[in-house]
Amino acid sequence: MSERHNPDGPPPGPDLFDYSPWHYWTQATDDDRTQQGQHQNSLCQTNRSYRFGEDCFLSPLAAVQNDGLELGPRSYIAAGAYVTGTLHAGRDCTINPYAVVRGDIVLGDAVRIGAHTSLLAFNHGFEDPDTEVFKQPVTSQGIRIGNDVWIGSHVVVLDGITVGDGAVVGAGSVVTKDVPAGAVVGGNPARVLRWRGPAPAVPVTASDLAAAVSAFAETARAQAEDVIARCFAPTVQGGLFVDAPGGQPTVRAQCDAIEIADLLLGHAPHPLSREAQIARLQSWQDPATGLIGALGPGGEQQPSQDGLFDRATAYHLLCVGYALDVLGSVLPHPVHTVAQASASDVVTALDELPWQQDAWYAGDWVDTLGTALLWNRRHEETGRPGVLEALLGWLLARADPRTGLWGPESPADGLLLPVNGFYRASRGTFAQYGLPVPHPYRVIDSVLAHARDARYTSAHRQTACNVLDIAHPLWLTRALGYRAEEVTALARRLLTDALGHWVDGRGFAFRAPHPTTAGTHETQPGLQGTEMWLAIIWYLSDLAGVSDALGYRPRGVHRPEPAARLS
């Protein structure tokens, strides 16, 4: 048998790693690692949903009785720990001896849980005095812990709690309400004692925010003509819009210009007439397939690609269809490629989409299909029976009840792709047809957890897609009132950031401006960024309770109302 590494460490007793797992990475022998691998394989055979990252350690003396379990790289569960329910832990997470982790629990990266601590993500009902408590229903909201959180020993965290990134929970605390990011809390009940970094800024008042929103709207309306005019190329194919000066004309740029003008000016964008723009958009739809091809470098129409769907041009069904809707018109033809598909074709295609690797693209495909079905309904082209029902049924059945999303979190990107994919998939289906989304409470939990990821929500790292894909799901589920204070606070913060992204006379860039990214294509103000951020600002303003101050409401792709109701 090989000797242990690091001979200067503690003596190699038979249960060293069980009670002090942090020594495993420096002192484990090849035999130790083989035995650990066998133990993990044995657990995976008892439950095939278990997933363990590289170099995890699970003590054989821990009671691992989860329905679902995922541990990121270098995470451990020590001896005497009792874990049940569903646990999803990121990298470098530690559950120390005799900790109790039960219920629906999500840990971010680098979460350290001290010995004898309890995370209890469930509650017994006790409202009926004539029924013994143990016979009353059990409820569970779940516990969400952010990244880089230290929870000391003998702490109790109750169901429904969210602990923000970078927080510290002192030993012996009882956590009965959410812990803000960066806070150091302690006591029973736990309260904020100090902050790891600078204290958060005092939040702006609702009246101040409403005034800021109103001032922004006045500025945007006053500058809208200039923002649109700078992106018009008069010599290309009789005049076409480009996303930004110097760029090539695109189908989307025409639609973005129409939506911006509708929001801020109440008419079609100059200098082309409404009738000319309707005729041009309608001429781009292929009557044989119903699809809409791209524009070439000189603005000439390219042939559309048949099938479900060309990845490069699928969004054209959304933007052209809704631009025509804003102009009071419609696509001239049904989408024949969708009308010809059967329910079985749709289910097969949904099964083959890369939900595990690229939930955003899968959601994009669903959005396109749902919108094509909408346009076909307006043409009274019902297609083959059961297609829309198959689409909605598949989404209902496949939504993860733990997260409310389609597709898993990834170690590299966190919840980015499944949250973004949820927006696209739900926009084209449940939102577009006025239906409730599955597992809405879990959706709110997941989106709020994702919103704590500074890689995507720090002011200088925001993109229009990433912020819209947070704002829309929270708006769609707002009627529940669940975690409403957090949702409002987040909306106000993101709204304040968004108002600051406007560039006078040029509009919004897709990505927030910052010196470190200056000069990149995404940080150049243009039509796409302007159209998207205008919609985002409406959603955030509505969540913050100040949308009346804007004086506009999206009517196109990002309209809040359903475009159709199923009867």
Reduced 3-state DSSP string for 415-460: CHHHHHHHHHHHHHHHHCCCCCCCCHHHHHHHHHHHHCCHHHHCHH
**242: its two tokens:** 């480009």
Q: Are 37 and 28 in contact (CB under 8 A)?
A: no
- Cα four-point dihedral sign 265, 268, 269, 271: negative
Q: Which CATH architecture has domain 16-195?
A: 3 Solenoid (2.160)
**321: its two tokens:** 């269809």
Domain 206-549 has what CATH class? mainly alpha
Q: Are 51 and 71 in contact (CB under 8 A)?
A: yes
- The domains of the chain are located at 16-195, 206-549
d(CA 211, CA 208): 5
- Amino acid symbol at 542: D
State the DSSP code for 430.
I
Q: Are 483 and 473 in contact (CB under 8 A)?
A: no
d(CA 284, CA 334): 13
What does DSSP say about strands 112-113 and 156-157: parallel, antiparallel, or unpaired? unpaired
Q: Are 165 and 150 in contact (CB under 8 A)?
A: no
**563: its two tokens:** 């475009």
Tens-digit pLDDT profile for the chain (567 aa)? 334 445 555 666 668 899 999 999 889 999 999 999 999 999 999 998 899 999 999 999 999 999 999 999 999 999 999 999 999 999 999 999 999 999 999 999 999 999 999 999 988 878 788 888 888 888 888 899 999 999 999 999 999 899 988 999 999 999 998 888 889 999 999 999 998 877 766 556 778 899 999 999 999 999 999 999 999 999 999 999 999 999 999 999 999 999 999 999 999 999 999 999 999 999 999 999 999 999 998 999 988 876 666 777 899 999 999 999 999 999 999 999 899 999 999 999 999 999 999 999 999 999 999 999 999 999 988 788 999 999 999 999 999 998 999 999 988 899 999 999 999 999 999 999 999 999 999 999 999 999 988 889 988 889 999 999 999 999 999 999 999 999 999 999 999 999 999 999 999 999 998 777 777 888 999 999 999 999 999 999 999 999 999 999 999 999 999 999 886
Q: What torsion do the CA atoms of 176, 178, 184, 187 make, to the nearest 10 degrees?
A: -10
Q: Are 100 and 80 in contact (CB under 8 A)?
A: no
Q: What torsion do the CA atoms of 463, 464, 470, 473 make, to the nearest 10 degrees?
A: -160
Distance of CA 324 to the CA centre of its chain: 29
d(CA 113, CA 76): 10
| pLDDT of res. 158 | 94
CB-CB neighbours of 384 under 10 Å: 15
Strand-pairing partners, residue 68, are: 86
**446: its two tokens:** 């997941």
CB-CB neighbours of 513 under 10 Å: 19
Q: Are 195 and 477 in contact (CB under 8 A)?
A: no
**23: its two tokens:** 């020594």
d(CA 435, CA 5): 59
d(CA 58, CA 90): 15
Residue 216 sits at the vertex; the CA angle it makes with 210 and 221, to the nearest 5 degrees, is: 125
Within 90-177, strands assigned E span: 94-95, 100-107, 112-113, 118-121, 123-124, 138-139, 143-145, 150-151, 156-157, 162-163, 168-169, 174-175
**Strand (E) or helix (H) holding 373:** helix 359-378
Strand-pairing partners, residue 319, are: none
Residues ≥6 apart with Cβ < 8 Å to 207: none
d(CA 339, CA 382): 7
Q: What torsion do the CA atoms of 449, 421, 358, 404 make, to the nearest 10 degrees?
A: 50
CA distance readout (Å), 107 to 150, 446, 532: 11, 12, 32
d(CA 270, CA 319): 19
Q: What is the CA radius of gyration of the chain?
A: 27
The residue to which tokens 């919103």 are assigned: 451
Whether the model clears a pTM of 0.85, i.e. scores above it, the answer is no
Q: Are 57 and 79 in contact (CB under 8 A)?
A: no
CB-CB neighbours of 229 under 10 Å: 15
| pLDDT of res. 10 | 60
> Following DSSP, what letter does each residue of 156-185 receive, concatenated?
EE-TT-EE-TT-EE-TT-EE-S-B-TTEEE
Q: Which parts of 193-297 fold into alpha helices (H)?
A: 206-229, 251-264, 274-283
